[in-house]
Structure 1
Amino acid sequence: MAESESEKEEAAMEAFMDRFRGPERYEGAFSPSNWEQEFDQIPMFMKKAPSEIDPMKNPDLACLQSIIFDEEQTHEEQAKIYKNEGNDYFKEKDYKKAIIAYTEGLKKKCNDVELNTVLHTNRAAAQFHLGNYRSALNDAIAARKLKPNHLKAITRGALCHLQLRHFSEAIMWCEEGLRTDPKEKKLLETRAKADRLKRTEERDFRKAKLQGKREQSQKEALLQAIKDRNIKLSLASSEDDTEISTGLAEMSLDGLSSESALGAKVCLQEDGSLTWPVLFLYPEHGQSDFISTFHEESRFVDHLVVMFEELPPWDLERKYIPSELELYYEDEERGDIYQIDTETTLLQALQHQRYFVKAGTPAFLVLVKHVPFSENYFLGKKVHRLK
C-alpha cells in the first residue's frame, strides 16, 4: 500500500531529528547538558569576566579587552572606561570590584579634575558600603582637595564622620555643604542627627564625670571611716593602688575595689556605720558561708545561731551547734592563729592588733571545740587563745 503524503512528511521529519539525537553533533554545537555554561564562555554573553585573562586560553576575550583599552586611547578616556565599569559593579552591589575599577581609573592620573573628583567620590561610596569609613573619608577629603564644593564628596565625608562618631566634624562638613545648597536634604538630616548625638554624648560625659566625682567622694569618706576605726587593710602590692591623700597614704584602695564573687563590698551607711561582706570557712569539711551585709555592731554568735538553726547537710555527725563552735582568724604574715570570742562584734574583731582585711572581705575560721580535727589543725602553729 502506497504511503500517503502526510506519512512521507512525518518520516522525513523523524530522519532530520535523528541527526541531532545520535552521538555525532554538528561542529561547534552546544552540549545538551552544559549548554548554559558553554554559552557563558562567549565574551559577548559573559555574566562575569575572569579575574585574569590568558590570551592563549581566552583569545576572544583578550581581543575584546584590547579593543576596549586601546593603547592609543588617552588617559582620560581609559579612566572614564574604568569609572563606568566601577559604576556597573556598584549598581550590582559588588563594591569590592567597584573599588578596584575606580582605583585603576585613578592610576591613569589623567588631567581631568572633574573625572578624578568623581572617581574619588565614587570609591568613597563603595568603601562606605563595605564599612571602611576611614578609607571612605580619605577619598572624600581627596575629592574635596580637587573640588572643594563637590556636594557628593561633602555628603559622603559627613556621613563617614558620623559613623566614626566625629560629631563636631560631621556638623562642620554639613554646614560647609549647606552653604552651597541650603536645601540639600541629606546634609540637613545628617547635621540634625550629628547634633543630637553630640548633645547626647556630651550629656553622658557630664553624667559619667559627675558620677565619678561622687564615687570618689564616697570612697574617700569610706576610707576615712575605716581609718577612724583603726581597721587595717591588707596592703597587697598593686599597680592600681592609689593614695587618696597624705593622711590616708597607708590605706590601700585595692582592698576596697575588689568585690566578692557575689558582688558585695564594704559600705558606709547614712548613719555613719559600716557593713561588710564576711566569709566563714569550715576547714574540716571544705565548706563556707557568705554574709553579704554583716553590720559592724552585730555579734558573731547572733549570726551563727541563725546560720545553724538547722544543721547543714554536710554535718553528718551533727556537731555544729552554735554553743560548741569556736572562731579564729589567721595572721598570714606571721602564720599565727588568733581566737575570737563569739560574743564580740565584728568591729571588735576587725580592731584586733593583727587583723588585716584582705580584698575587702573579712574571713574567719569556724571549728568545733574539743574534736580531733580542731586539735590537729593547729599543730605547728602558734595559737593565741582566749584567756
Structure 2
Amino acid sequence: MVQSSTQNGTSQAGAELPPNMAEIKSQGVDQVLAEMNRMPLFMTTLDETDGEGGENIALEALKALAYEGTKYEIAENFRQQGNECAREKQWTDAKEFYDKAIAALKAPPKEPDPEEELEEGVRIMEIGDEPELDEEEERKKEAAVEEACYVNRALCNLEKKNYRSCIQDCASTLRLNPSNIKAFYRSGTSCLALDKLAEATDACMRGLSLDPENASLKILSTKIAARKTHLEGVEKARREREEKAASEKATLSVALKARNIKTRATEQAPDLEDASIKLENPLDPSSTLTFPVILLYPQHSQSDFVKAFSEFDTIAQHLEYIFPLPWDSAKEYHLEGVEVYMETMAGGLMKVGKKMKLFKILGSGKCDVADGLVRMNVVPKAHAEQFVATRKLQKGT
C-alpha cells in the first residue's frame, strides 16, 4: 500500500503548522481561548490590552475606522448604530451613539498632513489630489443627520424619563427643521410628564397645524386636556378645603370670644394628633364646644387623656368612669377623695369644683387654654397642701 505524502515528502499526520500558528502548538486550551478573545471577531468580553499593559492593536484599529471619512460619513455610521440599538430598546447605548454622531458633526475639521506616511513608507496623496466634495451637498447631508440624531436622542431621553433633556433635544431639532412632527410630539409628551401643560399644549397645537390628521398628536392632545381637567379639579378642591378651614377657624374664634375663653400658643406644643378644640357644627358658633383635656396625677407621674370634653360636662362626670385607677394601690383616688387644680394666667393655682361645668371654669377669665389643650391636676386631698406648697416654691411665689 502506497503511503500518501505532501509535496515536501512530509506525511499529513506530521505536517507542520503555518509559521504564524506554530506557537499555538505549545499553548493550552485556556491560553488559545484567551488569545482568541483578544481578536475583535471572536471577542466574548472586551479586552483592550495586549496582555502586557499596552493597547489591543486590532481593537484600536477597528475603533479608528469609526472615525475615517467625512463628517457626514462618520456621523451617519454612528446614527445607524444608534438606530439599531433603539430598535432593540437599548436606550442608553443608542443615546451614546447619537452623542458621538453629534460630536463628530461639531468637531473642528482635521488638518491633513501631506508628509504623513503609511506603514509601508508610501506617501499619501497630496491635498490637491483628493477628490473634491460638493460642500453645499455635504452641508445638507450633515444637517439631515444632525436633525435625525437630535430627534432620535430625544426619544432615548423620553424613554429614560430624562424629560428636560428630551425637550432640549427637540428644541435643537426644530432649530434645524421647524416642521419636524416627531420633535413636536416628543416635546409635548415630555412637557405633559412635567405638568408643563401650557408648553405641552403649544407643542401639540403647532404639530397639529402642520399635520392635522396625525393620530399620535391627537391622542396627546386628549391626554393634555384630561390632565388639565384633573389638575383644575385638584386645585378647586384644595381652594375649597382652604376656604372651609379658614371659615371654620374664624367661626371657632368667634365662639371662644363669645364665651370669654382665652387661648395661647407656646413654642413646645404637644402632638395631639387629630384632637382639637371643635364646634359640633364647625360653622355655627353657638353649637357645643369640645376640648381635649389631660388629667394629670402629679403625685404619681401619671395621666389620662380625654379627647373630647364637652363644655357642658363636669370633671366629676369623667372621673366617675376613669376611677378607680389601675395603678392606685393605696386607693387614694376616688371622687370624694381628690381635689382638682388648674394653673392661672398669672402663674398661680386655682382650685376648681368637680361639679362645675367646663365652660364656666374656662370662661372665668382666670385661666386659659394653652396649645389647644386643657390641663387639670388631680391630687388626693391628703397631698393637696404639699402639692400647692411645692408648686408655689417652684414658681417662686
TM bin, normalised by shorter chain, reads 0.7 to 0.9
Pick which of 138-147 and 92-101 moved more: 92-101
SS at match of 1:379: helix
Pick which of 28-37 and 279-288 moved more: 28-37
Determine the structure 2 residue equivalent to 1:209.
Answer: 239
SS at match of 2:294: strand
Matched, 1:316 2:329: yes
Matched, 1:263 2:274: yes
Pairwise CA distance, 1:202 = 0.5
Please tell me whether the aligned partners of residues 234 and 359 of structure 1 are also in contact (alpha carbons under 8 angstroms): yes
Please tell me whether the aligned partners of residues 270 and 371 of structure 2 are also in contact (alpha carbons under 8 angstroms): yes
Give aligned-pair identity as a percent: 26
Matched, 1:167 2:197: yes
Task: Provide the rounded CA distance (Å) in 2 between the counterparts of 1:48 and 1:157.
Answer: 38
Aligned pairs (5 A) from 1:1-387: 27-28=23-24, 32-33=29-30, 39-46=36-43, 56-70=54-68, 73-109=69-105, 111=139, 112-236=142-266, 260-270=271-281, 272-308=287-323, 311-331=324-344, 334-371=346-383, 374-382=384-392
Q: Which amino acid is the alignment partner of residue 290 of structure 2?
A: T
The TM-score, its normalising length taken from structure 2, stands at 0.76
Pairwise CA distance, 1:131 = 1.6
Pairwise CA distance, 1:380 = 4.1
Q: May I ask how many residue pairs the two structures share in their alignment?
A: 340
Pairwise CA distance, 1:349 = 1.6
Residues 328-363 of structure 1: per-residue CA shift (max 9 Å, x gap): 1124x6542221111111111212333121111111
Pairwise CA distance, 1:232 = 1.0
Pairwise CA distance, 1:367 = 0.8
SS at match of 1:44: coil
Please tell me whether the aligned partners of residues 260 and 361 of structure 1 are also in contact (alpha carbons under 8 angstroms): no
Please tell me whether the aligned partners of residues 79 and 106 of structure 1 are also in contact (alpha carbons under 8 angstroms): yes
The TM-score, its normalising length taken from structure 1, stands at 0.78
Say if 1:328 and 1:214 are closer, same or farther in 2 by CA, change over 3 A: same
Pick which of 118-127 and 171-180 moved more: 171-180
Task: Provide the rounded CA distance (Å) in 2 between the counterparts of 1:280 and 1:34.
Answer: 84
Pairwise CA distance, 1:293 = 1.3
Say if 1:329 and 1:36 are closer, same or farther in 2 by CA, change over 3 A: farther
Say if 1:129 and 1:57 are closer, same or farther in 2 by CA, change over 3 A: same
Please tell me whether the aligned partners of residues 285 and 314 of structure 1 are also in contact (alpha carbons under 8 angstroms): no
Residues 271-293 of structure 1: per-residue CA shift (max 9 Å, x gap): 52211111111122222111111
Q: Which amino acid is the alignment partner of residue 363 of structure 1?
A: R
Pairwise CA distance, 1:264 = 1.1
Task: Provide the rounded CA distance (Å) in 2 between the counterparts of 1:48 and 1:184.
Answer: 45
Residues 53-112 of structure 1: per-residue CA shift (max 9 Å, x gap): 999421001112222312xx2222222122223223334444333323222222234642
Pairwise CA distance, 1:177 = 1.5
Unaligned runs of 5+ residues in structure 2 are: 1-12, 107-138
Task: Provide the rounded CA distance (Å) in 1 between the counterparts of 2:105 and 2:146.
Answer: 8
Unaligned runs of 5+ residues in structure 1 are: 1-15, 20-24, 239-257
Pairwise CA distance, 1:186 = 1.9
Please tell me whether the aligned partners of residues 327 and 341 of structure 1 are also in contact (alpha carbons under 8 angstroms): yes
Task: Provide the rounded CA distance (Å) in 2 between the counterparts of 1:266 and 1:142.
Answer: 59
Please tell me whether the aligned partners of residues 337 and 381 of structure 2 are also in contact (alpha carbons under 8 angstroms): yes
Please tell me whether the aligned partners of residues 264 and 277 of structure 1 are also in contact (alpha carbons under 8 angstroms): yes
Task: Provide the rounded CA distance (Å) in 2 between the counterparts of 1:174 and 1:296.
Answer: 60
Say if 1:51 and 1:299 are closer, same or farther in 2 by CA, change over 3 A: farther
Task: Provide the rounded CA distance (Å) in 1 between the counterparts of 2:390 and 2:295.
Answer: 23
Please tell me whether the aligned partners of residues 259 and 360 of structure 1 are also in contact (alpha carbons under 8 angstroms): no
Pairwise CA distance, 1:267 = 0.9
Pairwise CA distance, 1:260 = 4.6
SS at match of 1:353: coil
Determine the structure 2 residue equivalent to 1:13.
Answer: none
Task: Provide the rounded CA distance (Å) in 2 between the counterparts of 1:66 and 1:117.
Answer: 25
Residues 298-353 of structure 1: per-residue CA shift (max 9 Å, x gap): 11111111221xx222111122111111111124x654222111111111121233
